[in-house]
Amino acid sequence: AAFDRPEDFWPRKWGEAYVGFAAGEKRSWLMERGLKFFPVVGWAERGGGNAVGHGNSVPRFHVTWGTGPGVLEPFVMRVREAQKRDQGSRTGRGRDRIAQSLP
């Protein structure tokens, strides 16, 4: 993103802060939970090539090992460990859906 207009001041600040968070604290947190990243520059879902087109406007610099199942596995494992530890004192309701969001 160019972020070269006066009205881009705060969006640029937000973008810089998020990239710093994602590359630091968020990445560390995910890796501590067993998520692994494949270090490759990829553009898996090519789009229109600009911010107003369809798809991605820039390449991604991260790919997880295992895609969907690989992303979920560390979290599913922790839920199962908690269920064993709590000996069934919690009830999982995995197929429930949120019908309404309250303010």
> Is the pLDDT at 43 greater than 60, yes or no?
no
Q: Which residue has the higher pLDDT, 90 or 4?
A: 4
| Amino acid at site 48 | G
Look-up: residue for tokens 């630091």?
24
Cα 80 to the chain's mean position, in Å?
22
Indicate the pTM of the whole model: 0.53
pLDDT score at 1: 59
Question: Once rounded to an integer, what is the mean pLDDT over residues 47-51?
Answer: 58
pLDDT score at 56: 58
Average pLDDT along the chain: 76
List, in sequence order, every residue forming a beta bridge with 42; answer none if it has no partner.
60
Question: Once rounded to an integer, what is the mean pLDDT over residues 10-37?
Answer: 89
> Is the pLDDT at 24 greater than 90, yes or no?
yes
Contact 39, 45 (CB under 8 A): no
Contact partners, residue 60, CB within 8 Å, separation at least 6: 41, 42, 43, 44
pLDDT score at 90: 63
pLDDT score at 57: 60
Q: What is the largest CA-CA distance in the chain?
A: 57
Quick check: helix, strand or coil at residue 15?
helix
pLDDT score at 17: 93
